[in-house]
Structure 1
Amino acid sequence: MLSKLITTAAFIAIGTTAAFAHSTLETTEAHVGASYKAVIRVPHGCEGKPTIALRVQIPEGMIAAKPMPKPGWTLEKVKGAYEKSYDYFGTPMKEGVKEVVWKGGSLADDEYEEFVFRAFLTEGLPVGKTLYVPLVQECPDGATERWIEVPAEGKSSDDLEYPAPGIKLLEKKSVH
C-alpha cells in the first residue's frame, strides 16, 4: 500500500514538473533606466525533438539589444523602427534590434542551454508592471514551443499554458 502511494506521488510530481518546465529568464526583476542582461533558460525541446532555433521578440521600451553569439549557432538580428524615439545616454534612438534569432544549432530535448542578450530598459517603462519577452523554440518538422502568452491586466501568468518570460520593472536606481 505504501509503495503504491509513493509511486502515485512520484508520478504526480513528475507530471507537475513537466507542466512547469518552460523557458524562463534567470533574472526576473530589473531597474528602468538601466542595462539588463537577459539570460533565457531553455530546459527542453519540443515533445522529444531538439530545439534548432530560438526566436526572441524584443519588447517596446527595451532598446539597444545586443545578443551574445553562441558557438555552433548562427545569430540573426532583425532590426526595425521603435514606436517612438528613446534617449540612450544622450543619443536619440529611433530604431534597433526588434528580434534576435539563434538558429542552426541543435539542443537535444534532454539537454539544457542558456541564450543571452543585453538591452537597455527605458525610463518610460511602467514601474511595478511586468515587461514580457515572448519567444519561440523551433524544432524539426515544424514543431514549436511558443512561449508568447501574456496575462490579462491584473492576472497572473500562473494559469497560462505557454507564458512569455517576464521582468518585473523596478524604480530607477538613484545615483549618489
Structure 2
Amino acid sequence: MRSTTTITAGIIGGAILAVVLPLAASAHVSVSPDELVAGDHGVLTFSFSHGCETSPTTALKVTIPKGLASVSPTADGDWTIDVERGGDGLVSAVTYTALTPVPIDLRGAVSMGVGLDEDTPDTLAFPVVQTCVEGSTEWTQLAKDGEDPHSLDTPAPVVTVAPASAEGGHDMPDGHAETSATSDAGATASDPLAVALGAGGLFAGLAALVVAVLAYRRRA
C-alpha cells in the first residue's frame, strides 16, 4: 500500500513539473526583430505570453538605452502610453498600461518605432518592468562576457546592431568578397575532374556535329 502511494505521488509530482517547468523556461519578454542596421529605422515589438506567475499583466515599462536617435511609441487601442524624456529631450522610458489586464494564457505585445545613427552601439538592451495585478517582474539581467543569455532567470530584451555598408547592406570583412571569388576560381582551375569533364563534353559535341554533317551530305 505504501509503495502504491509513493508511486502515485511520484506520478502526480512529475505531471506538475512537466507543466510548470516548460512555463518557467518560456517565461520572458522578447523583442522582435532582434537585429537592426546602424543608421536605419525599424519597429521593435516587445511581447510576452504570461503574467507574473498566475497574475494578469497590467503594464510594461520599457527603459530606452543610450544611442537611439529617435523613439516613437506605437498608438494601440488596448494600451495607454506614457512617455518619459531625459534632460536632452530624448525618450528615456515608455510605459504601456493595459486598458484591461492581459490574462496569463494570452499573448500581449506593444511596439515602438526607433531610429538609429552611425554611432549607435553594437548592442541595445531594453530593460523591462512587467507589472501585474499582483506583483511584478523586472526583466533586467544582462549576460556577462562568456555567459549564456539563456541561463539568465530574467533577461532583458537585447537588439544587436549590425554596421551599415556603403551599399546599404551589412558590412563584410575587408577582402572577403575578393578572397571568396579567388578561392572559387582557384578551386575550379585546380579541379582536374571538372577540366576533364568539360573537355570531354566539348569533344562529344564536335563529334556529333561532324556526324550530322556527313549524314546530311549522304542524303543529298
Would you say same fold, with TM above 0.5?
Answer: yes
Q: CA deviation at 1:73?
A: 2.0
Partner of 1:68 in structure 2? 74
Name the SS of the counterpart of 2:90 in structure 1. strand
Return structure 1 stretches of 4+ with deviation > 4 angstroms: 7-14
2:108 is the alignment partner of 1:113: yes
- Deviations along 1:66-110, whole A, 9 cap, x unmatched? 0012213211011113xxxxxxxxxxxx42111011114211111
- Deviations along 1:113-169, whole A, 9 cap, x unmatched? 210001112322334xx321111110123x112111111234331221000011111
Partner of 2:164 in structure 1? 172
- TM-score in terms of structure 2 length: 0.64
Name the SS of the counterpart of 2:156 in structure 1. coil
Partner of 1:57 in structure 2? 63
2:37 is the alignment partner of 1:31: yes
Partner of 2:129 in structure 1? 136
Larger Rg: 2
- Distance in 2, matches of 1:63 and 1:8, equals 50
- Deviations along 1:12-49, whole A, 9 cap, x unmatched? 47613432321101211111111121111111111111
Name the SS of the counterpart of 1:16 in structure 2. helix
Unmatched tracts of structure 2, length 5 or more: 1-9, 169-220
Equivalent pairs, count: 157
Unmatched tracts of structure 1, length 5 or more: 82-93
Alpha carbons of structure 1 residues 165 and 45: separation in structure 2 relative to 1, 3 Å? same
Name the SS of the counterpart of 2:24 in structure 1. helix
Between structures 1 and 2, the one with greater helix share: 2
Partner of 1:88 in structure 2? none
Compare relative contact order (CA 8 Å, sep 6+) and give the higher one, 1 or 2: 1
What's the Cα RMSD here?
A: 2.4
User: Identity of aligned pairs, percent?
Assistant: 26
